[in-house]
Structure 1
């Protein structure tokens, strides 16, 4: 800690934002100097799925002469500690076959147990090793899978699973002994449409986890229509070719299970081609709001009115369409406070010929600031799906990883192999002041594919964030973080109790540093919610990178349903701190 300094000041969020704006307009060279001298060619990730025992192939089921729309969109992935042993396990959502033929083997979802704890106890701490425990756990759903949500819906201390499908979804209750029980019928949450991304969240601030399900088209084989790509060859259609938009579902948890409150909450008033979802208290009024990324239709921001209903305010709020007034192909989405002012911004991935979009939150209203961030140019040539902002190199600044993959064959790059839809993923390094710089793919050798779901978390518990990527019709990828560490880190594991969920809490880390003989206090904000990216559920723990010269001076939490912060115990860096609500 710094004990002497001639001056003391506290940088408030609005001052930080203004300072960032001044730097932005006074010269990008200044920002470039803040990359801590790291070589832009130095890899930050290393692909290790096979070496770690994570052996799994996604199957779309699409024959070469058929282009049914759902077959280009899967599959999903979750990182969760299903057995409560302290490390992250991996659940992979399989697509399979929309109409299985007689005698055809139906591939199922798979659960891989992380054996790191067991290996360490046995004297062999050689990194994460995974074992397939699907049959023993009872979570091998055979539906045409899409996305997944993880959360402790019954408050018994273990993680439950909800899986979306093209067709009835599945709800698996964790029994606390390594097995799950299918409660779909009992809880009445099967739905029957084409579910995509999904999230557990507390919609009515009663402390219990409700469930939001995003639906895409009202799809059936009968609505399929022939489409050609720009080379006039048969290919997958745009969702707008079908004119079959669907509405999303909000299940509210009651005493005996879940009830569909979609009509009562007003969700029936807005239909779209839904793909992504993320939940947060974007307007800091104490309740949880819902953002839905729609494909080629305006996005929806469901403002929680706190009076048992929601209102779509995306258009009035400035986040329904881009800065030109055009609806974009929304896929992955995340609430993230990029400029660290205490208001959660929005980032979304889009299709080729559209930039990914960054909406800055200005006290509850949004502005498309993509062109000011450096996140636009590289994304125009690619189609983004899964994504996540994290401080990968522990320098106190958020970075961004985007998983890409085409939905139409634009012309195969032979270096990418036989997959006509393969594209390289992208890594952006945060420069501070809401600016980013591309680091290419972020790996020493090319890692390309038709990437879809991407989940983020510290799989080996070494203090940095790794990535699991699902590629359509290819092997899963485990990207272990090998980025040179600039600073140190701190993690927080918020734990709810019965009818007091921690999902949706906001954690603030306060640090001090000496700048020009003045002590400056900075804050970083993290949202404790695993539901972001695309078809994914992520590490529920929040993670902070701490730059050199910064001392931790405070750790605070704002629990869901509240507008007040609570100061937590004095944190220790280099570890995960459990906090019980």
Structure 2
């Protein structure tokens, strides 16, 4: 049976009525979660049935903020990609088969790889599929900064002219030798489910030896499990022993054979990219740093193997993660975004294990109790209040971004996206990269969205959608303002910033040492965009 996308089907779970009821539900969400916790008595049941018919107690609703009246800042960004020396073009291997990994990637990062005091650029590449018979000409890319924002390609000299189907990356000094090492996630090129079980993991760990990167994946034991599709990753010291451990998100149980057999199509068109709902889930990985250059996979023992209570299958479909001590116990917790299934909040218990509490905390679902297509994530004290942490999550098109704000002295969250001014302006966009940064240097964290759809021909079935979508910058007007986050227009950020693209990963840094923060946006199948912040003094 064909799986077709049409107007009605694409919008059935992401309807306009979401905005109409969002304010009401954002106020009752915490009470609803309390009712669920008391009524079911079993955590796994919570994962299966987030919607409850039990009566909900009256609670105070958030105040809808009025339109802002204060003047908006001018934060003009200039596209300097070409003149800065960035020649990289992302290769996603897209072909007539339209395989789901082609919609992802690539990641990017600013980091000082040569320890000279300025920020260099690393760009993750994918490649043509091995079964297409094309030579793997595309490689990762490393660009060295001369200190003024002009970059030179040092990929080959640094040992990073390697080719595999890369996805995300994380920078950290795992061996405590003073320089930044690099971990890159990847897709295992699985022809079939049988081959998937025999292939080694596709991820790579590169140790920085004085500006030259050495692949130590095998010796370190962090390549991943056979068939893994690694996405986001991050370094953190989960056991507080003084060295960095590694968390790796995995997306789906994927193979070319299964993907092709689903026969997804667009109404009136050809093959479409598959839906994540039809693929099996995957477990996140936690690698404990042993301090001798090797790592131990402690994922299962630490409580990361979350399964469906009926089928026993992995429940996660993870695309993003962020670290934060949410409960103030000095142990770093982890929040993970999942695509079409509930998000995870792993509370670090301090004994080498984690407890998953997202449903109890109000961060697992939207205000209707439904899972969203969650992707990018960041955490900040955007209200300059250390007792209020904001978790922002970018979601699929026709699903507004989430802005979960913690309540004082608790791990409870309320989605305040609408009240804060973020929700309606993000509803039509498909957001991958998302991050907080102080773009105008006023002491308040602003909010950036990198947007772009999956389907090149999406406008044929949804007139409101486009493949290339403009990035967004929300100015943080502060808690004393009627509107907390204000979407800026090309008048404030410039035409270069607002030019549509197929945005994916994003990062920021001060590339020229002028004091303001510049942006790097990865673009799938195209050249990245380096935006210099020309903020006036």
**TM-score, structure 2 as length reference:** 0.78
Partner in structure 1 of residue 413 of structure 2: 366
Partner in structure 2 of residue 51 of structure 1: 83
Please give the alpha-carbon distance, in whole angstroms, between the structure 1 residues aligned to 2:297 and 2:118.
Answer: 34
Q: Does 1:405 align with 2:438?
A: no
Q: Please, what is the CA RMSD of the aligned residues?
A: 2.0
Please give the alpha-carbon distance, in whole angstroms, between the structure 1 residues aligned to 2:360 and 2:368.
Answer: 15
C-alpha displacement at 1:229, in angstroms?
3.4
Alignment counterpart, residue 188 of structure 1, candidates 203, 218, 221: 221
Please give the alpha-carbon distance, in whole angstroms, between the structure 2 residues aligned to 1:231 and 1:431.
Answer: 45
Please give the alpha-carbon distance, in whole angstroms, between the structure 1 residues aligned to 2:344 and 2:241.
Answer: 24
Alignment of 1:299-310 (within 5 A): 299-310=343-354
Decide whether the 8 Å contact of 1:393 with 1:484 is kept in 2. no
Alignment of 1:124-523 (within 5 A): 127-167=148-188, 168-176=202-210, 178-191=211-224, 192=226, 193-224=228-259, 225-229=262-266, 233-242=270-279, 244-256=280-292, 257-270=294-307, 271-342=315-386, 343-362=388-407, 363-408=410-455, 409-411=457-459, 421-433=467-479, 435-440=484-489, 442-445=493-496, 446-485=498-537
**TM-score, structure 1 as length reference:** 0.73
Please give the alpha-carbon distance, in whole angstroms, between the structure 2 residues aligned to 1:47 and 1:143.
Answer: 29
C-alpha displacement at 1:290, in angstroms?
0.7
Greater per-residue strand proportion: 1
C-alpha displacement at 1:62, in angstroms?
0.6
Q: Does 1:81 align with 2:96?
A: no
CA deviation vs aligned residue, 1:518-548 (integer Å, no higher than 9, x gap): xxxxxxxxxxxxxxxxxxxxxxxxxxxxxxx
CA deviation vs aligned residue, 1:11-62 (integer Å, no higher than 9, x gap): xxxxxxxxxxx9x959635x432xxx346xx552111010100111111111
Please give the alpha-carbon distance, in whole angstroms, between the structure 1 residues aligned to 2:299 and 2:149.
Answer: 41
Unaligned segments of structure 2, at least 5 residues: 1-59, 189-201, 308-314
Please give the alpha-carbon distance, in whole angstroms, between the structure 2 residues aligned to 1:165 and 1:440.
Answer: 36
Please give the alpha-carbon distance, in whole angstroms, between the structure 1 residues aligned to 2:167 and 2:209.
Answer: 24
Please give the alpha-carbon distance, in whole angstroms, between the structure 1 residues aligned to 2:416 and 2:375.
Answer: 18
Decide whether the 8 Å contact of 1:32 with 1:431 is kept in 2. no
SS at match of 1:316: helix
Alignment of 1:558-573 (within 5 A): none
SS at match of 2:331: coil
Please give the alpha-carbon distance, in whole angstroms, between the structure 2 residues aligned to 1:108 and 1:355.
Answer: 35
Count of residue pairs the alignment pairs up: 439
CA deviation vs aligned residue, 1:373-393 (integer Å, no higher than 9, x gap): 111112111100111111111
CA deviation vs aligned residue, 1:177-219 (integer Å, no higher than 9, x gap): x211111011000014100000001111111100000000111
Please give the alpha-carbon distance, in whole angstroms, between the structure 2 residues aligned to 1:321 and 1:94.
Answer: 32
Distance 1:103 1:314, change over 3 A: closer
Please give the alpha-carbon distance, in whole angstroms, between the structure 2 residues aligned to 1:134 and 1:152.
Answer: 20
Distance 1:459 1:354, change over 3 A: same
C-alpha displacement at 1:283, in angstroms?
1.1
Decide whether the 8 Å contact of 1:428 with 1:440 is kept in 2. no
Decide whether the 8 Å contact of 2:75 with 2:533 is kept in 1. no
Decide whether the 8 Å contact of 1:296 with 1:330 is kept in 2. yes
Distance 1:230 1:351, change over 3 A: farther
Please give the alpha-carbon distance, in whole angstroms, between the structure 2 residues aligned to 1:43 and 1:285.
Answer: 38
Larger displacement relative to structure 2 (202-211 or 456-465) = 456-465
C-alpha displacement at 1:100, in angstroms?
4.9
C-alpha displacement at 1:230, in angstroms?
5.5
Distance 1:43 1:338, change over 3 A: closer
Distance 1:68 1:396, change over 3 A: same
Decide whether the 8 Å contact of 1:412 with 1:421 is kept in 2. no
Please give the alpha-carbon distance, in whole angstroms, between the structure 1 residues aligned to 2:267 and 2:503.
Answer: 22
Distance 1:394 1:113, change over 3 A: same
Partner in structure 1 of residue 93 of structure 2: 61
